[in-house]
Amino acid sequence: MTRSLALMAGIAGAAGAAGLATLVRPALARRAFGLPEGEAATYALRIAGMMLLALGLFLGGFAAVFTLAGGTA
C-alpha cells in the first residue's frame, strides 16, 4: 500500500469514527462543541455526523477498490 492510500484509509477511518460518534451520541458532540441544547442543534449534529460517516465509507471504499483493482499511485 502506498503512502497516499494509507493516508486516504486513515482519513476514512477517522472521519467514519467521528461521524458515527456524532450520529449516535449527539449530546456528547454538543457538549464538546459548546452548542446550546435544542432540536435544531441535535438535527444539525445528526446531519453532520451522517455526512462524516458517508465520507468515511466512500473514501474507504474507493481506497479498497483501487487497491483490489491493482492500481498504483
Which among 19, 25, 11 is positioned nearest to 50, based on CA atoms?
19
* Whole-prediction pTM: 0.82
Query: What is the Cα 54 distance to its own chain's centre?
Result: 6
* Confidence band for 66, pLDDT divided at 50, 70 and 90: confident
* Per-residue pLDDT band at 1 (split at 50, 70, 90): low
Buried b (16+ CB within 10 A) or exposed e, 32-43: eeeeeeeeebee
User: How many other C-beta atoms lie within 10 A of the C-beta of residue 73?
Assistant: 11
Contact yes or no for 53/16 (Cβ under 8 A)? yes
> Coil, strand or helix: which one is 1?
coil
